[in-house]
Amino acid sequence: MTSQAPASTLATLDLLPYLDAAGEIPTTHQGRVGIYAIFDQAQVLQYVGYSRDVYQSLKQHLVRQPHACHWYKVQTIDRPSRTLLEGIRSAWITENGTPPGNQDEAAWTAAIDAAATMTPEEKAHYATLDELGQIKFLKNMARRLEGDIFAALEARGVTMALRFNPKLKESGLLDLKS
């Protein structure tokens, strides 16, 4: 739906599958400004967000929360207006209650931190390394986590090409390269 008129309620928007038959996110909303709601497999609301490029945001959410991204609803707008987007987001959250993803937004919006997955043994080993050793260790942690993410996405049937920013891996972070 495209609108500059008053916002639709979330309940009135069509529920769209996150992936098409080819295992890709439909490009319908690529480059479009809008607000969207993401639902899990049971069609339970998980997150409400807005973006200058809905398609890119949906891709980021899929790699950060692959098990929670099965359906979405979207309302695009023709002229970017943060006030309008925040108002619609607030209305949708009021209408449906605060979804879990909006209670822990970093898990949905921030780069994935591989260091957060370290075991106590790995943390102890990391602490003994010099700066170069720590960089290599974090990069390897990021690569391992990247493999886990790609395996989860493959299990979901995702076929689209996804690439993480290689420079961020040295910091142990994973974020899709735009």
Cα(36)–Cα(72) distance, rounded to whole angstroms? 7
Task: Write down the pTM of the prediction.
Answer: 0.89
The pLDDT tens digits along the chain (178 residues) read 444 445 689 999 999 999 999 999 999 999 999 999 999 999 999 999 999 999 999 999 999 999 999 999 999 998 888 999 999 999 999 999 999 999 989 999 999 999 999 999 999 999 999 999 999 999 999 999 999 999 999 999 999 999 999 999 999 999 998 7
Residue 166 shares a structural domain with residue 151: yes
* Domain end point (choices 61, 81, 109): 109
Q: Are 91 and 65 in contact (CB under 8 A)?
A: no
| Cβ burial 153-166 (10 Å sphere, 16+ → b, else e) | beebebeeebebee
**In this predicted structure, what is the pLDDT of residue 3?**
43
Residue 85 shares a structural domain with residue 164: no
DSSP 85-103: HHHHHHHHHHHH---HHHH
Residue 26 shares a structural domain with residue 95: yes
* Total tally of structural domains belonging to the chain: 2
Q: Are 75 and 34 in contact (CB under 8 A)?
A: yes
Residue 127 shares a structural domain with residue 159: yes
CATH code, 92: 3.40.1440
**In this predicted structure, what is the pLDDT of residue 6?**
58
**In this predicted structure, what is the pLDDT of residue 33?**
95
Residue 164 lies in domain:
112-174
DSSP classification of residue 17: E
* Domain end point (choices 66, 88, 109): 109
Residue 40 shares a structural domain with residue 59: yes
